[in-house]
Amino acid sequence: MKLRNSLRTFAAAGLILGAVAVSAGSASAAGKDGWLEAGEFGLFCTANQGNSVFDLYTSDGYFPDDFFKGSQSCAGHTTDDYTESYHNRDTFTWDVYTDPQRGGYQTHLNPTEKGNFNSLYGNKLSSAYIRL
C-alpha cells in the first residue's frame, strides 16, 4: 500500500512538472503574428516602418497566401507586392525577391538594417529567404 501511494505521488508530480514545462513555452520570436520581435525580419506596408508588419522567422517562398495582421489599415491585405519598408531584427542576412520561389530581382538585407525599398523593390516583393 505504501509503495502504491508513493508511485501515485511520483506520477502526479511528474504530470505537474510536465504541464508546467509545456505551458511555460518560449518568449522567442514566433513569426507571422503581426509583432516584429528580436530574431525576426519585418516587411512593412508603408514607408519608414509604418503601419502593419509582416514578420518572418523562417523563409517564405510565396507571399500571395500571406496577409498583414493587426488593426492598422493594411491588416487583411496580402503581403504580395505590397511592402514599402523593412527592418531586419534577425542575426542573419535575408534575401528578398520580386517573384515567388527566388524569382525575379534579388537583394539582401543585413542584420539590424532597416530602411525603405527603392522603386525596383518597393511594392514588388513576393518571397524572402533567410541566409544561413
Q: How far is CA 117 from CA 33, 46, 129, in A?
A: 22, 10, 17
Average pLDDT (115-126) is 98
pLDDT at 60 over 60: yes
Q: Determine the distance from the C-alpha atom of residue 38 to the mean position of all C-alpha atoms in its chain, rounded to a whole number.
A: 10
Question: What per-residue confidence (pLDDT) applies to 23?
Answer: 35
Average pLDDT (5-13) is 46
d(CA 107, CA 103): 11
> 1-5, 26-30, 83-87: which range is least confident on average?
1-5
Average pLDDT (88-117) is 98
Residue 116: strand pairing partners: 85
pLDDT at 30 over 70: yes
Confidence label for 40 from pLDDT (cuts 50, 70 and 90) = very high
